[in-house]
Amino acid sequence: MSRHRFLSALLAGLGVVLGLSAAEPLPLDSRLEPLRPWLGKTWKGHFKNSTPEKPVADVARWERALNGKAVRILHSVNDGAYGGESIVRWDEQKQAVSYHYFTTAGFMTTGTMTFKEGKVITHELVAGQTNGVTEVRGATEMLKDGTFLVKTEHRKGGEWLPGREVKYREDSAAHVVFK
């Protein structure tokens, strides 16, 4: 039995023990509920500036974590050339949904998320060596066709500059890769 099938069977059995039916989603902190459409899925997107000669693709896996008290997002660009991991949770002290993002490039960010008009709005502060980038802000929106779009901008030298733009589609065959 493959690891994936084993884990699926184990989780299904655990759901029966806990009294959850297969149709019932696992509990999630109510303040994280707006993230549910992404959970349990692997997504693949191509950066707006990607070309056939120089493709730039990101694969992201969104998971429920810590008994529903957090969301974990793993991602990798171009099969592990760059990647990161985020833990999103409710921060009681800040009274906000907050996250920490750790990268293979050695820097990290701490940020907050708000949910407004169907979008996830993010703002993060950057720590570590990032070629002068000190902040990142962005918007993530689930589109009617089941894809989602991420647009960011970053602050460098006191000026806000365009960042990345990626449109993701669910892709169960894609895998997050860390080298």
Q: Can you tell me whether residue 37 is helix, strand or coil?
A: helix
CA angle 19, 23, 26 (to 5 degrees): 60
Q: How many helices (H) and strands (E) does the chain have?
A: 1, 10
Residue 20 pLDDT > 80: no
Q: Give the model's confidence band at 31: pLDDT under 50 very low, under 70 low, under 90 confident, else very high.
A: very high
Separation in Å, CA 170 to CA 50, 80, 105, 139, 146: 18, 19, 26, 18, 8
| Distance, CA of 29 to CA of 31 (rounded, Å) | 5
The 10s digit of each residue's pLDDT in 70-118 is: 999 999 999 999 999 999 999 999 999 999 999 999 999 999 999 999 8
C-beta of residue 55 within 8 angstroms of C-beta of residue 44: no
Q: CA of 52: how far to CAs of 46, 48, 49, 107, 130, in Å? A: 11, 12, 10, 29, 27
pTM of the complete model: 0.84
Average pLDDT over every residue of 2-16: 44
How large is the greatest C-alpha to C-alpha distance in the chain, in angstroms? Answer: 55
What percentage of the chain reaches a pLDDT higher than 70?
Answer: 87
Least confident piece of the model among 34-43, 52-61, 127-136, 152-161: 127-136
At 2 the pLDDT is 44
Domains of the chain, CATH where assigned? 28-170 (2.40.128.20)
